[in-house]
Structure 1
Amino acid sequence: MHLYGPIGAGICAGIALGAVLYRVAPHRDLPQGLYQQVPLRLGRFLFWLGIPLSIVGFMRRADLSGNLYLAPVVAWSAILLGLLCSRLWIRADQEPWARPTQGSFSLAAMLGNTGYIGYPVVLLLPQLGVSVFGWALFYDALGTLLGSYGLGAILASEMGGQRLNLAQSWQRQWSTRLRAVVRNPIILAFGLGLGLKAIALPAWLDLALYRFAWAIVVLSLMLMGLRIQQLSSWQHLHRATIAVAIKMLVLPLAVGLGLTILGVDGPPRLVMILQAGMPCAFSNLVLAEAYDLDRDLSVTCVGLSSASLLFTLPLWLWAFSGE
């Protein structure tokens, strides 16, 4: 209840706001209408300013000692395992798969929402909290984020129906993607937070940053609710169920067993298991739109996995909360 109460309240508030906007806002079906613009502008605010500043605020209270380098290693291991499992399933299936559908399926199995929903889950759990936020941050910033706009973009470009301009050299494509990752505000905030951690800020500024960071957690949950309220496609439910099962059952179980064998336990292990089991990333929708993948399958995976989180969280807490 300590976890589901705030998460449920934030998501339900976003769903309710979306329902109200759908009923009362003019031009609800047009891109310029409030129904479409509110989540779009809130997402941009969170991406460019809100989440980066919240990272700085939480990092000042997070314990960044220990083997934090293990988090991105685990993240990349989970991403590659998700890609492998998705490719094996596609090969084993007797039915033909269109290449855009293959791309959306693999992205859903690989990449999770370790930012907008992963951060609040780690921060709100009483057995975790701000002190182990560094593990979640390293997992997301150096793992999922780079995986989404690095390996994820490469996969999407290969599988997408919209082929890239052949005149553009591979080196130029790669350098463009690399610049996009380096300029990402979350990566910049990551570096800024590391630099400011050792600097003594005025008490009022430090407290304001911390309170602002918690407000951003609430807004992130509301954005999740707004996006869920706008989901309208539930096609390809069978394939979406398989992708979500890989992402939210196979990957966290593999991470949990692997870390246990390596002797990693306690809160760091639980953080990485939960991050590995987060719902399918909203970045999958961005990649699906940009590279002309199977958008219906991507939308279905996001909606199904978001609902499944309520059932998978207790499973991992029960299985791996102990020492």
Structure 2
Amino acid sequence: MNLASHPVFVSLTPVFLLVGLGFMAGRLQWIREAALKDLSNLVFMVLIPALLFRTMSAVRFEQLDLRPMLAYFPSTLLLLGLCVWRHGATTRSVVLGLAATFSNMVMIGITLIELAYGKQGLVTLLTLVSVHALIQLSVGSIVLELIVAREARAQGGEARRLWATVGSVARGTLIHPIPLPIISGLLFAQTGWSLPGVVDKPLQLLGSAFGPIALVLVGVSLAATPLKGHWRAALEVVAAKNLLLPLMVAVGAWSVGVTGLPLTVVVVTAALPVGANVFLFAQRYQTAQELTTATMGLSTLAAPLTLSLVMGLMAWLN
């Protein structure tokens, strides 16, 4: 088969060309750092909700396959536990463990999965997206707060209230512009109604704008990411995120009987680069902030190679 017409090449190339364009725009200061927050708000508050609601508004509950969740999340939590066990129960090890397990499902994953596997693949991805942050960030919060409480007691200080923190994280991940439109769209679909054209068309146009703008923003952020001095430590986390996690998810999927397109989607999702939410934990707990930033950047730079490998292998197996 001609490389230019290979499905993996065809789906990956537009994604990373747009990321590269954003990187160049960031380096040349066409898009300045001061504008990133406003552009991110446009993506997360307007474009993503339109895309997610419209996609899920035509999906009935009986069409959903929840087995990919059983394949994906136990594997990610197992790897998180292995990272903490290997490096010791510290806030640093938990944050790096989250970096090794938290995929960039939204900014890169949505566009890539839709290009490569169509709407059916996107629905499988969105079932994961709907609870991704809630499960992984809540577990990460619990473990981090337990470690902080232990350290506070050891120093004779007063520990923060664990469940208040976890409750705040849970509320923030549910009342959020990503899971909320997914759930709302699903509930609307169960009514059997169709979106009127006067509503559907604007949602379609907004959703179409999401992919290119989001990918350009990834590149702009990458241009401002410092990698110097953190290559070796970051490389270990990137190897776990981009290569080991997809392997573990593949084994988990096989064990619960996930096959075909859902299997491909969950494995490719696991191979996506590190998601930005991990840095918020590094910042909140004031640990490994520069290393986390470098890991996110290196994971994204390595993604064209590692995703090509994983997607090519899944195409060959299926």
**Contact 2:107–2:214 (CA under 8 A) maintained in structure 1:** yes
Match of 2:37 among 40, 65, 69: 40
Match of 1:152 among 136, 140, 152: 140
Match of 2:49 among 44, 49, 52: 52
Letter in 2 for 1:84: G
Comparing 212-221 and 63-72, the one that deviates more: 63-72
Q: Which residue of 2 aligns with 1:177?
A: 169
Q: Which residue of 2 aligns with 1:30?
A: none
Match of 1:129 among 93, 112, 118: 118
Alpha-carbon RMSD across the aligned residues, in angstroms, is: 2.7
**Contact 1:55–1:190 (CA under 8 A) maintained in structure 2:** yes
Match of 1:139 among 121, 128, 134: 128
Q: Which residue of 2 aligns with 1:116?
A: 107
CA distance in 1, matches of 2:282, 2:178: 22
Match of 1:7 among 12, 15, 18: 15
**Contact 1:108–1:281 (CA under 8 A) maintained in structure 2:** yes
What secondary structure sits across from 2:10 in the alignment? Answer: coil
> Does the C-alpha gap of structure 1 residues 299 and 252 become closer, same or farther in structure 2, counting only changes over 3 Å?
same
| 1:196 lines up with 2:193 in the alignment | no
> Does the C-alpha gap of structure 1 residues 207 and 307 become closer, same or farther in structure 2, counting only changes over 3 Å?
same
- 1:215-247 Cα offsets, whole Å, 9 max, x none, are 101111011111101102333322211111111
**Contact 2:152–2:159 (CA under 8 A) maintained in structure 1:** no
Q: Which runs of 5+ in 2 are unaligned?
A: 1-8
What secondary structure sits across from 1:2 in the alignment? Answer: helix
Comparing 74-83 and 159-168, the one that deviates more: 159-168
Q: Which residue of 1 aligns with 2:75?
A: 78
CA distance in 1, matches of 2:256, 2:201: 38
Deviation at 1:296, TM superposition (A): 1.3
**Contact 2:77–2:136 (CA under 8 A) maintained in structure 1:** no
CA distance in 1, matches of 2:86, 2:308: 27
Deviation at 1:63, TM superposition (A): 7.4
Q: Which residue of 1 aligns with 2:93?
A: 102
**Contact 1:233–1:300 (CA under 8 A) maintained in structure 2:** yes
> Does the C-alpha gap of structure 1 residues 207 and 237 become closer, same or farther in structure 2, counting only changes over 3 Å?
same
Deviation at 1:208, TM superposition (A): 3.1
> Does the C-alpha gap of structure 1 residues 234 and 199 become closer, same or farther in structure 2, counting only changes over 3 Å?
farther
TM-score between both structures, scaled by the size of structure 1: 0.84
What secondary structure sits across from 1:21 in the alignment? Answer: coil
- 1:99-126 Cα offsets, whole Å, 9 max, x none, are 443233212112111111111110111x
> Does the C-alpha gap of structure 1 residues 157 and 297 become closer, same or farther in structure 2, counting only changes over 3 Å?
farther
Deviation at 1:204, TM superposition (A): 4.5
Identity of paired residues, percent?
21
Letter in 2 for 1:182: L
| 1:208 lines up with 2:202 in the alignment | yes
CA distance in 2, matches of 1:62, 1:234: 46
**Contact 1:68–1:135 (CA under 8 A) maintained in structure 2:** yes
- 1:241-293 Cα offsets, whole Å, 9 max, x none, are 11111111111112223323443221111110011111111111111112211
